[in-house]
Structure 1
Amino acid sequence: MTGQDPAQDAVVIDTSKPHPARMYDWYLGGKDNYPVDEEMGRQMLALDPRVPVMARVNRAFMHRATRWLAHNGVRQFLDIGTGIPTEPNLHQIAQRITPEARVVYCDNDPIVLAHAAALLRSTPEGATEYLQADVRDPAAIVEGARKVLDFSRPVALSLVALLHFVSDEDGAHDLVGRLLSELPSGSYLVMTHATADFTPEESAAATEKLKAAGVTLALRSREEFARFFDGLDLVDPGVEVVHKWHPELGEPVPGQDDGVIPGYGAVGRKG
């Protein structure tokens, strides 16, 4: 982990409204969240008690996808919307398989920065860095990532449980397209995304509650999610319910089979 930009140290944590990264931490049983995050988390639980399982299922998908990519020759990872570090992190999964892997994490919540320097430790052969930036500013992300990653070689772009917080009005598909346009042939897009396909009433209520708290929740259908992979070659089995994507690459999450987990996952290769 290299030194941080002094400008990043001046950021202030806003505890007046919930933040997805801190809510996710609360769902996972972490301590790096605030009462406002717990309160909104409990409201989400009242609507759908499977939310903590969904959080763990998304993280388990990231572990499996990272293993698959590392075993298939990927040595560079750009993880946007990384959330508060929870072991094992992406770089630990990748570097156990290929110690020379280079990983750049990116998130827009200052509390993530507060923990990144202490927790995101790389192997001596590889590299791990953290950027304080928002997915809505892809130019800044690419500029920072280029200091660690070689953009002439394949990069795995990881957007796990992130894009459902970016609306179509904010140009979610264009943002993904702009990020992919900077990556060379042989790179990958790794994504999971919540959906209302299976729980329309609960999902509509959750969207309204989060909207009232200042958090966007843009749930997308299977077809809308698949659009993010237009022009890419989908890794088998293609778009799948999250916990059914290559389950052999990891341990099952307790509770994941209690009904359908309302989210999709996929990995696509840029030709």
Structure 2
Amino acid sequence: MFDTHVNLHGEPFADDLEEVLTRARSVGVSRFLAICDRFDNFPAILSIAQANDDIWCSAGVHPHHAKDFGSLTVEQLIDAASNPEVVAIGETGLDFHYGYSAEKDQVESLQKHIAAARNTGLPLILHTREADDLMADILEKEFQKGAFQPLLHCYTGGADLAQRALALGAYVSVSGILSFKSAGEVRAVIADVPMDRIILETDCPYLAPVPMRGRRNEPAYLPFVADALADLKGMSSDEVKQITEENAIRLFSKVTAS
């Protein structure tokens, strides 16, 4: 399995990261993608990837922090992506639920990330919350300037954004949310996403899946996400693991190239 979205840097795993990784490897997680949330954290995230042959990373700024990195340039993102361990741009996106950064700052940051993804050919990891229509509009408008590879990470949005993004060749990643009793609307949307466009993630340390809800999430819980997707699609967990791993390796093609 490939856990395509892990947040390994910082306090949650400061004391036991090696044990966390060992547990994940023991249940079949063979690849990890460590996500960059703030560009000033990039060196720490890159160092984790450099220290582990089965970990790669991204370069970017989460929409919450867009206001703090207004001076970030496309060239800085492209330069970061020149590292062999960097296999994706982001996470970036739009989040109007909390409003930690103004819409203008988030849109400008997103556009820079899109330009970097287009230039490097790397997948663009997109976070969207309460911004479906604007996200779809921006993706479609930007595609007219030149193609890039979108990934709707930890998808909880509506069917319209999902289908408009899929029409652009996007992939969709599912997390432990898929297993939540309250997530019926999410399951309905994912039910209509083709299996060859779906990948798995934990988004650890957040969003621990059933039956681990309430605990710190970690990559070792990825099989429970696979189980939830298998239940939804009427497939075996083994089939889901195989297909989603193949999808992830195809999406993050720089992983196999390295």
Shared fold (TM-score greater than 0.5)?
Answer: no
TM superposition score category, shorter chain reference: 0.3 to 0.5
User: What TM-score do the two structures reach when normalised by structure 2?
Assistant: 0.36
Q: Which of the two has greater helix per residue?
A: 2
User: What TM-score do the two structures reach when normalised by structure 1?
Assistant: 0.35
